Each structure stands twice: as C-alpha cells, then as structure tokens.
Amino acid sequence: MKIEFIAKNYEAKEKLKELYTKKIARLDKFFHDDIKIKVMLKKSGENFTTELTILLDGIILRTEVSGDNMFENIDIALPKLEKQIIKHRAKITDKSKKVSIKELEQSFIPELHGASSNKNGVVRSKTYQLTPMQTEDAISELELVGHSFFVFLNKLTNAVNIVYKRFDGGYGLIETVV
C-alpha cells in the first residue's frame, strides 16, 4: 500500500504519519493489488480536516472528516471508508473496464489550480478530462465522491451530462445540447 501525505496549512509530525500509516494498513485486507491512498491534512482556523482518497481501477473512494484533533479524525474516517469499500466491493472487483491508476490520475483526477480570487468571484477551479460512461455509472461515481453533482461524458449520446442529487433523495440528469 502506498500512502501519500499532503498537508495544507498544517505541518504533519512523524508521529501522526506513523499512526495514520499503521491504521490505514488494515485496509490491505480488502485489496489484492498494491493501492495508492492520498491523505490530505488541512487546518482551517481551529478546525482540522482529514481527507482519505483511494484510486482504484476507475473508481474513487473518498471520505472527509473534520474535527478538533487530527488523531481522532482517522478513527472516524476509516470506518466510513471501510463501509464504502464493502458497499462497492463487487463493483470494484467485477468492473469490466480496467484502467490503470496512472491513466486514471491523468484523465480524471482534478488538477487544482490553487485558491485565487479574481473579479468574477471564482476562488477555485478544477480541470479534468471527461470519462465516457453511462448514467448509472455516473450516479455511482457521484455517491462515491460524496459531492452534490457529477459531470461526465454520456457514452450513449456522446454529450456532456450532469447528474445531481435532488432534495427528495432521487437523482436528476442535465443533458447539454450544442
């Protein structure tokens, strides 16, 4: 298992990294391949945030926890991530399209362009290549990343679509026309 630590506005001590590495190692039982886990540690005011992201064969498993203490955050984040792994294990192992992690990082993971404000009010932007998929796959990805919407290239229509979570618990689909 490869663990990559990224810190923003926070200096991660070796003791914390060792603890996280030890606790994350228990996820090895779910995977037969060597996987990569990104651990993002952020501090905003008095709030500490831990974000765990696993990139695996075209699937992103992600959890984010905020609290008063980085040491406690891992104990809350790991069970959440384990639930996602168990829930989507069949999809992870049976997924027919195999995308290497390197291809996935190059084609799908957003490249952050930093937090800078301009006259239009945009404070952060992300860029990623659209992955062709069906609407059902996009809904699964939406659930995995935990966002309120997901942009994708519809495999059937070859058009950019957006799926979003509705307030009533269902999903909506926005289809674009050029």
**Higher pLDDT residue, 40 or 121?**
40
What confidence tier does 174 reach under pLDDT thresholds 50, 70, 90? very high
Instruction: Give CA 18 to chain center in angstroms.
Output: 22
Residue 58 has pLDDT above 80, yes or no: no
Question: Which tens digits make up the pLDDT trace of 119-133?
Answer: 567 777 877 778 899
Mean pLDDT of 107-126: 58
What confidence tier does 39 reach under pLDDT thresholds 50, 70, 90? very high
Question: Which tens digits make up the pLDDT trace of 70-86?
Answer: 889 999 999 998 888 88
CA–CA dist 163, 110 (Å, integer):
18
CA–CA dist 110, 17 (Å, integer):
25
Residue 102 has pLDDT above 60, yes or no: no
